[in-house]
Amino acid sequence: QVQLVESGGGLVQAGGSLRLSCAASLRTFSMYAMGWFRQAPGKEREFVAAISWSGRNTYYADSVKGRFTISRDNAKNTVFLQMNSLKPEDTAVYYCAAKQVYWDYVPTTERDYNAWGQGTQVTVSS
């Protein structure tokens, strides 16, 4: 059973930074592509960023490109989301997701993923 546990959320002022972590209980973490999604109040969950199993390939939503960076540490079964220059519109619950893959690609849609964390709240005040 895959377990994903997010941490690092909180309250920050606009322009500030946060680093989210997602710890995965996976024997073969290096064979999973990982993604971050978010859901703001009253809105549907949306893609934020994803990283291939090797870490060589990444993909970002246009709204976060240049501000957020996704990375992973396969030795620690952990994926990170560094969020800089945060804006009030980044306020949402952030979810980590995992998908077992057989080649080094980056899934970017919600239905691609089959394991999800419980989410961590990020609130950006203006």
Predicted pLDDT at 1: 77
> DSSP character for 85?
S
The pLDDT value given to residue 123: 98
| Tokens matching residue 56 | 């060589």
**Pair of tokens at residue 37:** 């999604």
Give Rg (Cα) of the chain.
Answer: 13
- Spatial distance between the Cα atoms of 98 and 48, rounded to a whole number of angstroms: 14
Go through the chain and tell me how many residues it has: 126
Give, for all 126 residues of the chain, the pLDDT tens digit.
789 999 999 999 999 999 999 999 988 888 999 999 999 999 999 999 999 999 999 999 999 999 999 999 999 999 999 999 999 999 999 999 999 999 888 999 999 999 999 999 999 999
Q: Which two tokens stand for residue 84?
A: 């800089």
pLDDT given for residue 70 in this prediction: 98
DSSP state of 56: S
Q: Which amino acid, 95?
A: Y
